[in-house]
Structure 1
Amino acid sequence: MAKFFNKIYEHAYKRGTKVWVSGQIKGQLHHRMSTGKVFNRANMNYVEKHWEDLLQEHFEEEKSLAERKEMLTFSDFLPRSLELRLDTASEGSIRDYKSSINKHIVPVFGELKFDEITISVVKDWQRNLRIKSQLAQKTIISLRAMLSGVLNHAIEEGITSFNVVSQTKAPAKGLFISYDEFGNLLDHKGREIDDDKLDPYTLKDVRKLIDSAEGQFKWILTVLFFTGMRTGEMVTLRWSDVDWEKETIHIQRGNNSSNKIGTTKTGTSRKSTMLPVVREALKEQYKLTGLQDGFIFLAQDGGRYRTYDTFRKHHWKNLLRRTGYAYRKFYQTRHTFASIMLSEGEDIIWVSKIMLGHSEVATTYKFYAKYIKPKDKKHAAFLDDERTNSVQNINLKCESA
């Protein structure tokens, strides 16, 4: 009960700048709420007169909302979630997002009410994505984030109070990899994976392998072992990239994940130094493909190599068997170049930027620091000159005085 405008109000009162209503109607507990109306005499009188109707209307809306929540399915709420997502994502992103949800999430969760989306349902869904759909770990984690986003929107809208995705773990990385008979790392579809484990060859090993290789593969190995370029860069090399006069190779392309020609891994080009041994190898290769003025290394059908699986699965493995070496990744050609050059004292900036094409020298340090040969010189030798010694002697005398 409060007094405003020289009048006693039993159910209407002021709170802040708004008119609130308070009271108890039949079948309900005592309740108070804002009417949203601005505080003034007219609104106060209106609320005081109609307080029962206002409270009844409120309770009926709450009941309707509660009933609607009980019946609402994931698919029913999805359009609202997509609408909320528009605040933070572009239309293109929403389009891709919606496509992924409709393909991988709606078929499982679409007809479920939110209280039916349980931990066991999510775990079974993840297992099927991995085993039946053969999706990669990264893709499943992305889909988990999408499902979680819809559930968070449902929490914000008062539809549910629990995000079950937060109570489950993403499938472990180990579930997506295996090994073949040669110890090669395979992905979830049985495809060989290049890893970054360093197991380089010595210079003596390199010479033995190249001497034992046959045909075009001999020159491919020479280029890889003595330039450090990536295999995807090698298979996209053209004769127009070779500058015989300046003794450089312009590395400006790479093989992307779809086996199509794209940019290099870092998105930049570089002019790699053509060492004498590489120059001689390219001269020999020129006799095979140079007159065609196209790609330097060609497959048996006369076209460019769209993948380097032929090298890896056939030429490389057969060469290692013949020479008595245990299997190592074909990518070790790149690691071998870096380790040999750095262990022989070559400048790390030349190795990193010009030859390997790393965007940062720090990347080269990260992988190859243990191969860097210490400089065979006395540290701070400039302090040994006569003038510096004189200064040191003066300082020493001052200190001993």
Structure 2
Amino acid sequence: MGSINQRNGKLVADFRYMNQRCREQTQLNDTSVNRKRLMRLLKTIEAEILLGNFQYAKYFPNSNKVQKFEELNQRKQTASHHFSSADSPTVKEFSEIWFREKAIEWRKSHKQSIEGILDSHILPAFGKMKISAIKKQDILTFRAALAKVQTRTKKTLSASRINHIMTPLRMLLNEAADRYEFTTPWKNIKALKVPRTEVNPFSLDEVERLIKTAPEGFKPYYIVRFFTGLRTGEIDGLHWDKVDLDKKQIYIDQSLVKGEMTDAKTDGSNRVIKLTDRVVSALKVQMQVTKSKSEFVFCKADGKQFNYQTISRVIWEPMLQRLNLKYRNPYQTRHTFATLLLAAGESPEWIAQQMGHSTTTMLFRVYSRYVPNLTRQDGSAFDRYIETQGEENA
């Protein structure tokens, strides 16, 4: 129900239109006669709003809201046309529009990932459907089907992978709902719970055995991986101009992802890593092999960058098999680095910086259970501290 107010002695019409509050000042003086006159006008306006034939410019031609409501009405009519006519956009049609608009924001690797999800999962399931016709039950059924998909190794998709596939679908539906003014079916659909990050580090003895069994040309590669904590993309994309052996450090600000050099994973990933003497020695050996033929520190014989999947299959997996070690993915070299530093008693803040973490929170949450001194709960460490301090002060 509209109401009448006054401002500076003139009456103001106050009502709601298209879910927005509208206040329009008139040139009517605040008198009882004018109030009755304006109230009749408000009732007429509200009736027209209810019937759907209200035209803002008819009553308030000089209002700055006229253009705004005309645009909203045009958008509403366009949406109505799209979703009530035979040529309503399908998921495939809208996905092409959405992909073109969003692609400018994404890295090449991310575009390839989204494109793969659309082609392999979303479009086969929903491509021919009108995007406005998708219901919540359709989404849940699709997700349940993903849980039954098997990978090439005969394993089912992980919760993390399923969530990753569902994300573009959610973005598509929410964007279309906002653009064409229908209610998104993505209501109260929570992401699947992802188990704690799998951390299965190698012991120092296992590290030494792995390095020893590595092919001669890959020993420096694995020494650097195990004793710097570099991510796969960071070590495979490491350039010689980022290596300073005199200062015993390397600078990380880029990564090799699906054959393309990109910026580091996050702002925190940009960092300077201090090198041990053993790593420096390994890099000096590697310098004799690759510096003259490639900008990459570690590369193939022709100077081109590594393909991490090939290295994992041809080099890494056979190394584990030769030593009869349970399979662990190459990323465990990074986890191993963190746990070895913690076990050695290095400062958590320094370790976090070396790893490219902005805080120590993740460090303790992920790795602390692998370091006895950090998880002991019997008070013995504190007892020793008190005893030691007492002896020093005696």
SS in 2 for 1:378: helix
Alpha carbons 1:235, 1:297 under 8 Å: kept: yes
Give the residue type in structure 2 aligned to 1:364.
L
Aligned to 2:366: 367
Match of 2:128 among 84, 96, 107: 107
Aligned to 2:15: none
CA separation of 1:139/1:19 partners in 2, compared to 1, >3 Å: closer, same or farther?
A: same
The structural deviation recorded for 1:315 is 0.7
SS in 2 for 1:314: helix
CA separation of 1:226/1:75 partners in 2, compared to 1, >3 Å: closer, same or farther?
A: same
Does residue 1:275 correspond to 2:276, yes or no? yes
Give the residue type in structure 1 aligned to 2:130.
F
Aligned to 1:140: 166
CA separation of 1:18/1:171 partners in 2, compared to 1, >3 Å: closer, same or farther?
A: same
Aligned to 1:310: 310
Alpha carbons 1:20, 1:34 under 8 Å: kept: no
**In 1, Cα distance between the equivalents of 2:103 and 2:282?**
51
Query: Deviation digits for residues 195-236 of structure 1, max 9, x if unmatched?
Result: 931111111111111111122211111111111111211111
Q: What is the TM-score with the length of structure 1 in the denominator?
A: 0.57
Q: 1:223-238 maps to which residues of 2 (within 5 A)?
A: 223-238=224-239
SS in 1 for 2:291: helix
Aligned to 1:254: 255
Alpha carbons 1:250, 1:269 under 8 Å: kept: yes
Alpha carbons 1:219, 1:281 under 8 Å: kept: yes
Aligned to 2:11: none
Give the residue type in structure 1 aligned to 2:360.
V
Aligned to 1:357: 356
Alpha carbons 1:226, 1:278 under 8 Å: kept: yes
Q: 1:116-135 maps to which residues of 2 (within 5 A)?
A: none
The structural deviation recorded for 1:118 is 5.5
Aligned to 1:165: 185
The structural deviation recorded for 1:273 is 1.3
CA separation of 1:73/1:282 partners in 2, compared to 1, >3 Å: closer, same or farther?
A: same
**Number of equivalent positions:** 294
SS in 1 for 2:284: helix
Give the residue type in structure 1 aligned to 2:309.
D
Aligned to 2:288: 287
CA separation of 1:35/1:14 partners in 2, compared to 1, >3 Å: closer, same or farther?
A: farther
The structural deviation recorded for 1:363 is 2.1
**In 2, Cα distance between the equivalents of 1:16 and 1:141?**
50
SS in 1 for 2:327: coil
Q: 1:37-56 maps to which residues of 2 (within 5 A)?
A: none
**In 1, Cα distance between the equivalents of 2:346 and 2:283?**
23
CA separation of 1:262/1:380 partners in 2, compared to 1, >3 Å: closer, same or farther?
A: farther
**In 1, Cα distance between the equivalents of 2:104 and 2:217?**
47
Alpha carbons 1:248, 1:272 under 8 Å: kept: yes
Aligned to 1:58: none
Alpha carbons 1:254, 1:265 under 8 Å: kept: yes
CA separation of 1:164/1:356 partners in 2, compared to 1, >3 Å: closer, same or farther?
A: closer
Alpha carbons 2:223, 2:282 under 8 Å: kept: yes
Rg larger in structure: 1
RMSD of equivalent CA atoms: 4.9
Q: 1:85-96 maps to which residues of 2 (within 5 A)?
A: 92=101
Give the residue type in structure 1 aligned to 2:228.
T
SS in 2 for 1:165: coil
Aligned to 1:347: 347
**In 1, Cα distance between the equivalents of 2:298 and 2:89?**
55
**In 1, Cα distance between the equivalents of 2:250 and 2:146?**
44
Does residue 1:331 correspond to 2:338, yes or no? no
Match of 2:41 among 18, 21, 24: 18
**In 1, Cα distance between the equivalents of 2:220 and 2:103?**
49
The percentage of aligned residue pairs carrying the same residue is 24
Match of 2:84 among 57, 60, 72: 72
Aligned to 1:378: 385
Aligned to 1:206: 207
Alpha carbons 1:240, 1:293 under 8 Å: kept: no
Alpha carbons 2:211, 2:222 under 8 Å: kept: yes
Query: Deviation digits for residues 288-346 of structure 1, max 9, x if unmatched?
Result: 223336211111333121x3112211111111111121111111111111111111212
Alpha carbons 1:211, 1:218 under 8 Å: kept: yes
Give the residue type in structure 2 aligned to 1:280.
S
Alpha carbons 2:255, 2:265 under 8 Å: kept: yes
Aligned to 1:301: 302
Alpha carbons 1:18, 1:34 under 8 Å: kept: no
Gaps of 5+ in 2: 1-35, 45-50, 60-76, 106-113, 150-156, 375-380
